[in-house]
Amino acid sequence: MTDNVRDRLSRELLGMPYAELSPLKCSVIDLIADEAPTRLVQSKPAFWDGLADKVAAIGGSWGFIFGFAAALILWMGANLLLKPLGHAFDPYPFIFLNLILSTLAAIQAPIIMMSQNRQAERDRVAAEHDYVVNLRAELEILRLHDRLDALRAEELAGMVERVEAKVERLGGKTA
């Protein structure tokens, strides 16, 4: 398509020259001009990003919570039972357990935040795609309305011509 077609479309549909449109609106005009389908482009996450998503998915599940609670109960129970025998590896107040929990929280929190940032980016891309699809649909509907109006105007003009011709014929017969 030529730039003239894109400029004409942007002026007709958006009331602005193509050169003054935002990149997003230009992409919509391009899609209409090219008659191409609107596609959502999704990229494959990098290894570490995918791992962060998996860690967040596991860490935010009921299975993890119940499993972790069971591990804590086993840890504390074993140490409480082994303390009288003098074989407790982390006696009460469970200082080593606190260290492990703090370390886990310190590592897990930024990983979950990375995953949330990626999800926010995916949501932003999806919202932008929705905007493009909605704008394109609205503009295509406007084009269809214009075409229907033009067809209706042609039909009415033809009807008026036929009526005028009949009136002339009827007027000639009575005179």
Per-residue confidence at 174, pLDDT binned at 50, 70, 90? low
Which whole-number Å values give the CA distances from 95 to 74, 99, 106, 140, in the listed order? 15, 6, 16, 67
Q: Is 85 helix (H, G, I), strand (E, B) or coil?
A: coil
Mean pLDDT, all residues of the chain: 88
DSSP string for 14-53 = HSS-GGGS-HHHHHHHHHHHHTPPP----PPPPHHHHHHH
pLDDT tens-place string over residues 92-122 = 999 999 999 999 999 999 999 999 999 999 8
Q: What are phi and psi of 2, to 5 degrees?
A: -85, 165
CB atoms closer than 10 angstroms to residue 44: 7
pLDDT tens-place string over residues 110-158 = 999 999 999 999 899 899 989 989 988 988 898 899 899 999 999 999 9
pTM of the complete model: 0.63
